[in-house]
Amino acid sequence: MEITNVNEYDAIAKQKLPKMVYDYYASGAEDQWTLQENRNAFSRILFRPRILIDVTNIDLSTTVLGFKISMPIMIAPSAMQKMAHPEGEYATARAASAHGTIMTLSSWATSSVEEVASTGSGIRFFQLYVYKDRNVVAQLVRRAERAGFKAIALTVDTPRLGRREADIKNRFTLPPYLTLKNFEGLDLGKMDKANDSGLASYVAGQIDRSLSWKDVQWLQTITKLPILVKGVVTAEDARIAVQAGAAGIIVSNHGARQLDYVPATISCLEEVVKAVQGRIPVFLDGGVRRGTDVFKALALGAAGIFIGRPVVFALAAEGELGVRKVLQMLRDEFELTMALSGCRSLKEITRDHITTEWDKPRILPRL
């Protein structure tokens, strides 16, 4: 069957994967309202395309934290990718490199920072969960730095794990043949079976609930790497992130897996962008499934977007080839959206190219 868009990988992954694994990747928290809304909110943003502009040449390239990438489409951290495919994070890293874009490796990867580095060159970020034992954190950050990772994406929305009912029903745990590779040597690589979600029990035991803004500053004392704060959804926290020395913000609701009934990330984006006043870049993750979504995010001020579930679903369906195809399809759709909107480079994408439900009625300028 010819795959024509990113969404089609979801159904294939559902057929191929064990129920516990598919449900882990696919589900959101509680009623999963935010999970639906992350997608639905994009559908309520409409285009105002400009016409009769020469779009023979279109440049999708951009820079993120000073690193040049081929397009503003990057890979978000997704845990335990070897549950989806034996090659796991190796395949994802190679696909990202082949497309000249950034991969973010999860703390809870089933391949270590060193193993991912061994796949060859590429720009990679490391997603960090802060453990109660700060020596573990410091060691991990140093290892990521040594392995050539270029930034830390600090996840800040997970003092406790959200209530993911599918994982509770399935008694989710990491399959016995896999470990959380980054923690293997620290005796934290295994996840015990629990009466509910094994991951929730692991988080309750290991992750530091006392994490606060002072820890963002502490991180800066142990690493030279730029720190992206991942999980900001309000103007208030965006302003504090700037003051705390963050190098960037990722507007994220953790793929709707933490607090249900938070707005879609695309609905929070403009508030955060306005709050930082251009001092640091703002990125978006959550719900991006089309090139049109990428354009909408950039029109609302994002410097780039990250994709999560499409990567693991494509990985389950077709391994590295699947991930390459997802990146290629999103790239092609985004380029087409730019052409049909009259934009030849990312800086030509403006707020005037879209209309949202919160816009005031337009007073048309007299020409």
Q: What are phi and psi of 271, to 5 degrees?
A: -60, -45
Q: Was 155 annotated as part of a binding site?
A: yes
Q: Was 129 annotated as part of a binding site?
A: yes
Q: Was 63 annotated as part of a binding site?
A: no
Q: Was 85 annotated as part of a binding site?
A: no
Alpha carbon distance 337, 293 (integer Å): 10
Q: Was 120 annotated as part of a binding site?
A: no
Which residues are catalytic, by number? 254
Q: Was 287 annotated as part of a binding site?
A: yes
Alpha carbon distance 334, 72 (integer Å): 10
Q: Was 324 annotated as part of a binding site?
A: no
Alpha carbon distance 353, 338 (integer Å): 10
Q: Was 78 annotated as part of a binding site?
A: yes
Q: Was 252 annotated as part of a binding site?
A: yes
Exposure string for 153-189, b = 16+ CB within 10 A, e = fewer: bbbbbbeebbbbbbbeebebbbeeebbbbbbeeeebb
Q: Was 56 annotated as part of a binding site?
A: no
Contacts 24+ apart (CB under 8 A), 359-362: none
Alpha carbon distance 89, 349 (integer Å): 33
Q: Was 127 annotated as part of a binding site?
A: yes
Q: Give the 3-state secondary structure of residue 46.
A: strand
Q: Was 289 annotated as part of a binding site?
A: yes
Do 267 and 45 form a contact (C-beta atoms < 8 A)?
A: no
Q: Was 106 annotated as part of a binding site?
A: yes
Phi/psi region, residue 91 (left: phi>0; alpha: psi -120 to 50; beta: rest), is: alpha
CB atoms within 10 A of CB 143: 17
Q: Which residues are annotated as a binding site for FMN?
A: 77-79, 106, 127, 155, 230, 252, 285-289, 308-309
Q: Which residues are annotated as a binding site for glyoxylate?
A: 24, 129, 164, 254, 257
Q: Which residues are annotated as a binding site?
A: 24, 77-79, 106, 127, 129, 155, 164, 230, 252, 254, 257, 285-289, 308-309
